[in-house]
Structure 1
Amino acid sequence: MNQILKQEVLIERLDYLEVKVAYQEDTIEKLNQTLVEQQQMIEKMERKMTIVSDKLKSIQISEMPSADQVEIPPHY
């Protein structure tokens, strides 16, 4: 009879571990999917930043007034 109880306890523990592993696998898959989505967002933002940076570099410096072209307000 003692042997039967040990087997039942082992079966219960094994069932518990199988359930726990299943939940962990699900969690890992969800985390992986989140990581993939975040990486895609980062790559998209990097592309946009490159475009913005290129546009800023293409602005002609001559379009900005030089120091002697800026009028000082009369109260100075």
Structure 2
Amino acid sequence: MNQSESEPLIELQTKIAYLEDLIESLNEVICEHEKRVDSLERVSKHLYDKLESAQQAQNNQGTSDSMGHEVPPHY
């Protein structure tokens, strides 16, 4: 193989090596983003659960307060 025939082959090999490196880099970014998304989902669920329990506590407190202060009907 002479110089002119091997140049396209070397160029293709260089591009393939670059693309393989790029794929590896993108894969690392995707894995990091997946970890962040999982973490954010856990935090979101935790906050949702806290909010839900606070609302239930407020509803329970409101129910017991309104029952205690309610004036009985007159007959």
Per the TM superposition, whether the score is higher than 0.5 is yes
**4+ residue runs of structure 1 moved beyond 6 angstroms?**
none
Q: 1:35 aligns with which of 34, 37, 50?
A: 37
Aligned residue in 1 for 2:15: 13
**1:62 offset after TM fit, Å?**
5.3
- Please give the TM-score of this superposition, normalised by the length of structure 2: 0.78
Q: 1:53 aligns with which of 52, 55, 72?
A: 55
Q: Which runs of 5+ in 1 are unaligned?
A: 65-76
**1:61 offset after TM fit, Å?**
2.4
Root mean square deviation, CA, Å: 1.4
More helix by share: 2
- Figure out how many residues of one structure are paired with residues of the other and give that number: 64
Q: Which runs of 5+ in 2 are unaligned?
A: 70-75
- Please give the TM-score of this superposition, normalised by the length of structure 1: 0.77
**1:22-48 deviation digits (Å, cap 9, x = unpaired):** 000000111111000000001101110
Identity %: 9
